[in-house]
Amino acid sequence: MDVYGLLGNPVGHSLSPPMHEVAYDELDMDARYVTFEPEAIGPAIEGANALGISGLNVTIPFKEDALSHVEPDSLAERIGAVNTVDFSGSDDSVPTGHNTDAEGARRAFERHGVSRDGASAVVVGAGGAARAIAFMLADDGATVEIANRTVSRAESLAADVDGTSAHGLDELPGLVSGADVLVNATSVGMESDESPVPAAALHGDLAVMDAVYSPLDTRLLREASASGATTIDGAWMLLFQGVAAFELWTGRDAPVERMDATLRRRL
């Protein structure tokens, strides 16, 4: 049996186990997906390697610390965070580390027919999700504007990502009105019916992704839909980062529709 898992603390709320387990069932794989809540990431990765675990997802609060305990690929190294660890062929050597959050966002855009090459994109936020999305957008050929409440954090992120610039939230209306792509990578809309962007700035030529997936129907997405914009809810990025991890570990095409249906039933 192949064993995969999730390292984080806490992880009791995670939707990864049912999403991966249904994939194993669909493809008739002898595999399980389990969760772990270690106190430290280094010993957990070393122990997983020694036990023969095939792959791990990594979530809060360990994504940044995991970087020093794996051999990161170039994207994970640039982002500064690892959310997927692959032990295949590692034996006693260092496992490889990857960041499938960026790939998850990319595939979410592709699923909805949203081009990034040559696009003008606005990312709201400067945390971990914003970093992954900003790097992906820039790599795919977009011009990226980073807007954040604390401008210094936006400036720090913009300094790391080629072709980006930093702004305060007060500049959002002007930025969004001329943009092709808008991403909310903050928690605004998760616990209150608020939007990080004024409704008047939204328009029909815009593609709007909200990384918030609880609730799925955020105020930002409702107002974006009313403006005629293309909308992408947070479940898509969550789904496709899991799909990318599954395919990395197994070398098989993931049963995307089954994984999506399972995920959405639990949201």
Instruction: Say which of 15, 58, 62, 63 is annotated catalytic.
Output: 63
221 labelled catalytic: no
Residues pairing with 210 in the sheet: 184
Q: State the Cα torsion 46-48-53-56 to the nearest 10°.
A: -90
Residue closest to 216 by CA, chosen among 205, 200, 203, 232 = 232
Tokens describing residue 209: 């992704």
Q: Which amino acids are annotated catalytic?
A: 63
